[in-house]
């Protein structure tokens, strides 16, 4: 996304559903954004440079990233529509299911390094990257990360909607 796309996003008209709880409907994306930004607090930017060097950085990152799902549920519920609620619950179920697999995959790296600190995990790879002994787990991590971010071919909620729209155009 470049600067023009960001500017276009801020210049668009805000559309609020007429029956929605307006406060919660506006609060939902803010919650998702805040939890996404809070996750970056433990990510090292370069050697020794991080906002917060926690000993439980991995647990913090997994916990904060799973709280971002609350914004999606809240947006579906605040729209005051059963279809929006069902769509948000379906998306949330997909995200949570792949977060569980991501957590278990990250657990193998934690067992390999015996630390929950992200900086220690990075330092332990100075002699050999963890992807070499854990190649099958690394492939599972890649697949789960694609599914977690709703990238193709795991874009099921969006794919169902697009398939429905395409079928209407084929009928017409």
Peptide bond into 153 cis (omega under 30): yes
Averaged in consecutive runs of 10 residues, what is the pLDDT profile of the chain (172 residues)?
A: 75 75 88 90 85 89 89 89 87 85 92 91 90 91 82 63 49 48
User: At residue 49, what are phi and psi to the nearest 5 degrees?
Assistant: -110, 105
Q: Determine the distance from the C-alpha atom of residue 24 to the mean position of all C-alpha atoms in its chain, rounded to a whole number.
A: 20
**pTM of the predicted model, to two decimals?**
0.75
Count of the separate structural domains present in the chain = 1
Domain-located, residue 84: yes
Spatial distance between the Cα atoms of 64 and 38, rounded to a whole number of angstroms: 7
| Structural domain span for residue 35 | 17-171
DSSP, res 41: G
Q: What is the pLDDT of residue 60?
A: 93
* In a domain? residue 1: no
Residue 78 lies in a domain: yes
């Amino acid at each position: 996304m470049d600067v023009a796309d960001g500017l276009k996003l801020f210049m668009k008209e805000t559309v609020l559903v007429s029956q929605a709880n307006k406060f919660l409907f506006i609060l939902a994306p803010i919650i998702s954004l805040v939890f996404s930004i809070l996750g970056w607090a433990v990510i090292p930017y370069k050697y020794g440079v991080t906002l917060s060097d926690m000993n439980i950085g991995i647990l913090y990152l997994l916990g904060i990233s799973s709280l971002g799902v609350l914004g999606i549920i809240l947006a579906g519920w605040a729209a005051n529509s059963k279809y929006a609620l069902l769509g948000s619950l379906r998306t949330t179920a997909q995200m949570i299911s792949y977060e569980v697999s991501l957590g278990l995959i990250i657990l193998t790296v934690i067992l390999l390094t015996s630390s929950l600190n992200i900086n220690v995990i990075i330092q332990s790879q100075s002699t050999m990257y963890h992807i070499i002994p854990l190649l099958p787990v690394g492939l599972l991590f890649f697949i789960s990360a694609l599914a977690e971010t709703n990238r193709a071919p795991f874009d099921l909620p969006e794919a169902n909607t697009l398939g429905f729209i395409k079928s209407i155009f084929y009928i017409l």
